[in-house]
Chains A and B, each alone.
Chain A
Amino acid sequence: DAGVIQSPRHEVTEMGQEVTLRCKPISGHNSLFWYRQTMMRGLELLIYFNNNVPIDDSGMPEDRFSAKMPNASFSTLKIQPSEPRDSAVYFCASSLRQGAVRDTQYFGPGTRLTVL
């Protein structure tokens, strides 16, 4: 298996521009998570989906952030408009949840976002 795939790996953009990050979870996994990691705040959960449905988006910092999961094999995290404080590494992770059993989370390599 290829693991969790994220694109792009690096993104440099200017303040005010729209940024779209992409994630392909591991085939067969039904839960998907978006995290943000910074030196100051560590690893923060932004939003997670179960069977393509957003379950908890309380970690999304503000309305400039949105996430979608149109099907089981693809998710996007969009920032519009972007700001310098959004600079961070964004990780996508997936796992398999079967009833009450939750499996381990597998992380992608991350997207390093720099907003100038």
Chain B
Amino acid sequence: KQEVTQIPAALSVPEGENLVLNCSFTDSAIYNLQWFRQDPGKGLTSLLLIQSSQREQTSGRLNASLDKSSGRSTLYIAASQPGDSATYLCAVSSTDSWGKFQFGAGTQVVVTP
């Protein structure tokens, strides 16, 4: 069974600093990997989707990398802002499933002004 781990569980950085969030998974036979953002009391918002054939995806200040062989993905957020404060979750879709994702527990990020 695929297991997804996110470390650290919580992170606090001053505004302007770059954020590095880690996600690891146990089964490298993945179809794709997705990063989500969740604000308190709200649903999940998709940030980036990386297909298994890709090594990275970029959107604005966000960059996500994928290394299937080592079972790792990293989300980089450049020049963090207080508005980036949220919980970030990664989710992995395995090749033997019909699109269901296995989620990590998330990293709670606080960006202080």
Contact = CB atoms under 8 A, between A and B. Distances in A.
A56 B46 contact: no
A105 B101 contact: yes
B103 A42 contact: yes
Chain B interface secondary structure, helix, strand, loop or mixed?
A: strand
B99 A91 contact: no
A50 B99 contact: yes
B19 interface: no
A110 interface: yes
Contact of A110 (B43, B45, B49, B102): B43
Interface in B38-53: 42-46, 49
Interface string B7-28: 0000000000000000000000
B105 A48 contact: no
Interface in B62-113: 89, 91, 93, 97-106
Given A104-B34, A109-B42, A45 B49 contact: no
A11 B43 CA distance: 16
Interface residues of B, number: 23
Contact of A45 (B31, B34, B100): B100
- Interface SS majority for chain A: strand
B46 A97 contact: no
Contacts of A85: none
Contacts of A82: none
A56 B98 contact: yes
B44 A102 contact: no
Given A42-B105, A42-B106, A104 B99 contact: no
Given A105-B46, A107-B44, A43 B103 contact: yes
Nearest to B31: A102
Interface in A61-115: 91, 93, 95, 97, 102-110
